[in-house]
Amino acid sequence: MPDVGGADKQGLRGFLRMVETRFPDEIVRIPDRVDSRFAPTAVVFELEKAGRSPVVVFENIDGKPTPLVTNVAANRKLLAACLDVSPADLPTAFRERAMKYLPCETVESAPWDEVVLEGDDVDLTKLPIPLQFTVDAAPYITAGQITARDPETGVDTTGFHRLMLKGKNRLGVSLHSRRRMWEFHRRAEARGQSLPAAIVIGIHPLHYMGSMTYAYPPQVRKFEIIGGLFGEPYRLARCGVADLEVPAGAEIVIEGEILAGVHEPEGPFGEFTGYASYRSTQNVFVAHRVRMRRDAMFHSVTAGMAKDHILISCVTREGEILNALKRNLPNVTAVHVPHSTCGAFVAIVAMKKTAEGEPQMAVMATLGTELYTKYVIVVDDDVDVFDINDVFWAIATRVRAEKDIFFVPGAKGAILDPSSDPNDFTLTKMGVDATRPSGRDFAERLVISDEERARARSILAAAGVSL
C-alpha cells in the first residue's frame, strides 16, 4: 500500500478534510440516488441563487460506486483558507506565491496505482460523468487536467481542457486557449507524431489555481508554481505514458494521446460565457490505460457561468493583472475581475492616481496582459472594486464619455467570446477612466467613518438586529 499521507494533503481529499474540519457548513452531502443528467448542475445553480457556494458531494450517481464531487472552487472563503489568508487578500497572496517556484518531489508510488485497467477493460462510460446542459453534445469530463510535455524542450504543462465522452476510450478535446498545450500538440503534429498525455481527475483547488497561471518563464513547470502556492514541493509520481509525472494525490489518471492529424466534431458545450459554444479545435484523445484509487472520487467542475467554473479564473486573472501593473504603476492598489462578467471580460483597477494618463497606462497594460479581458475600468482608491454598486457610482459620477472612454479596434479576442469575429476572433476593446480629474477641485465624496460604522453596528446589535 503506497504512503498516501503527504500526497493526500495536496489532493482533493486533503481539501475536503480541511473544509469538513474548519468550515462544516460549507459542504453538502447528498446520499440519495441522483440522475447524472442535469441534476448535479441544477443543484449547484439553485444553491448559487440562494447565495450559497458549498462543496457538494453526490454519494450515489446513477447507482455507480464512484461518488461525484463538485463546486470545489466556488467559494472565495474556502480558496482563501487554502492559502491561509482573508478573502480580500486572496489575489495578492496568489500573485506573490505563484512567483515562488519550488522544485517538485517525485515519489515512487501513488494511491491511484491501486487499480489499473488496460485494453478492453478501459471503459470511461463507467465513470459518473454528468450531462450538464440540454445543449451539450454529450457528457463532459470538466475537471480533467491534461498533462503533456513540449516535444522540443521536454518541459511539461498542465491545464483544463473540456473533454467530450465519445466512447469507451475516446474523448473529444478542444485546445481553444491556444496556449502551451495547443503549441505542444502543434509541434508534435509537425513531426507526424501524436502527443502523449495524461488526464488527471481529483485535484486540490491550489492545483486548479496554479494551472490557470500564464505569465511565467518557459522553462518553469506549472507544477513548480503549484508548489509555490502550497509552500512546499508538489508531490508527483510517474505514470505509464511517456514517463509523464502527475500529482500523486490525484484520484484517477487516464493515460493516452492526443492524436495527430485527426479531427472530429466536438461540442456544443455550455461554456463560461453563459452560451452554448460551437467553437472547437476538434482534437481527439484516445485512452490506453486508466489508473485509480479503489475508493476513487470523481471530480467534476460545474460548467456554464457557475462559480465553480469561473471563480478561480477571476482570482488568477486578478493576480496576473495586479502583478503586471505593479511593475510600472506601483500606485495600483487592487484589481477585480467580477464573476458576473464571465470571470474574464471586464477588469476593474483601483489606483491612487498621481498624474493624468496613468489610468490609460493601466488600461493598456491590462489589455496586453490578459487576452480574455476586453473592457477595463479604472477607479480611484476610494472605490471598492469588489462592490459593483460602488464601481457603477464612480462611472456615473466621474466619467466624461467624450474624454474618458477610448477604444482599441481590431484587438485579438478569445475564441469562445461570442462577440468576437468568427473568422479571426478580433474585436474592439475599451478602456474607461472613472477617476477624478487631477489638478483641480472635484466634488467631495460623502463618507461614514469606520468608527461610526462600528458604533452603528453596536446600536443595531443591542436592538437585536444582526448584520
> Can you spell out the DSSP letters for 149-191?
E-TTT--EEEEE--EEE-SSSEEEE--TT-SHHHHHHHHHHHT
Q: Return the exposure string of 108-119: e unless at least 16 CB atoms fall within 10 Å of the residue's CB, then b.
A: eebbbbbeebee
Q: What is the pLDDT of residue 6?
A: 63
Identify whether the C-beta of residue 284 lies closer than 8 Å to the C-beta of residue 173: yes
Cβ atoms of 210 and 229 within 8 Å: the answer is: yes
Q: At what angle do helices 90-97 and 307-328 cross, to 10 degrees?
A: 70
Query: How many Cα atoms within 13 Å fall on the side-chain side of residue 152?
Result: 12
Give the CATH superfamily of 329-434. UbiD C-terminal domain-like (3.40.1670.10)
3-state secondary structure of 73: coil
Q: Decide: 91 and 319 in contact? Cβ < 8 Å.
A: yes
Can you read off the three cell numbers belonging to residue 239?
505514470
Domain ranges of the chain: 5-307, 329-434
Taking alpha carbons only, the member of 336, 466, 457, 348 closest to residue 76 is 336
- 274 touches 170 (CB < 8 A): no
Phi, psi angles (nearest 5°) of residue 447: -135, 155
Which residue's C-alpha cell is 466624461? 400
Say what the pLDDT of residue 7 is: 66
- What is the reported pLDDT for 218? 84
Classify domain 5-307 by CATH architecture: Roll (2.30)
Sequence-ordered strand ranges (E) for 358-421: 375-380, 405-412
Residue located via cell numbers 474618458: 404
CA atoms within 13 A on the CB side of 402: 0
- Using an 8 Å Cβ cutoff, are 171 and 285 in contact? yes
**Residue 222: exposure state from Cβ atoms within 10 A (0-12, 13-18, ≥19):** buried
Three-state DSSP state, 351: strand
pLDDT in tens, the chain (467 residues): 344 456 689 999 999 999 999 999 999 999 999 999 999 999 999 999 999 999 999 999 999 999 999 999 999 999 999 999 999 899 889 989 999 999 999 999 999 999 999 999 999 999 999 999 999 999 999 999 999 999 999 999 999 999 999 999 999 999 987 789 999 999 999 999 999 999 999 999 999 999 988 778 889 999 999 999 999 999 999 999 988 999 999 999 999 999 999 999 999 999 989 899 998 999 999 999 999 999 999 999 999 999 999 999 999 999 999 999 999 999 999 999 999 998 999 999 999 999 999 999 999 999 999 999 999 999 999 999 999 999 999 999 999 999 999 999 999 998 888 999 988 999 999 999 999 998 888 998 988 899 999 999 999 999 999 88
Distance in Å from the first CA to the final CA of the chain: 50
Give the list of residues 6+ apart from residue 6 with CB closer than 8 angstroms, or none: 107, 235, 248
Dihedral of CA 310/316/321/326: which sign? positive
Res 3: pLDDT: 41
Number of C-beta neighbours around residue 240 at 10 A: 15
How far apart are alpha carbons 262 and 57 in whole angstroms?
Answer: 36
> Which residues are CB-contacts of 7 (< 8 A; sequence separation ≥ 6)?
107, 110, 111, 235, 237, 247, 248, 249
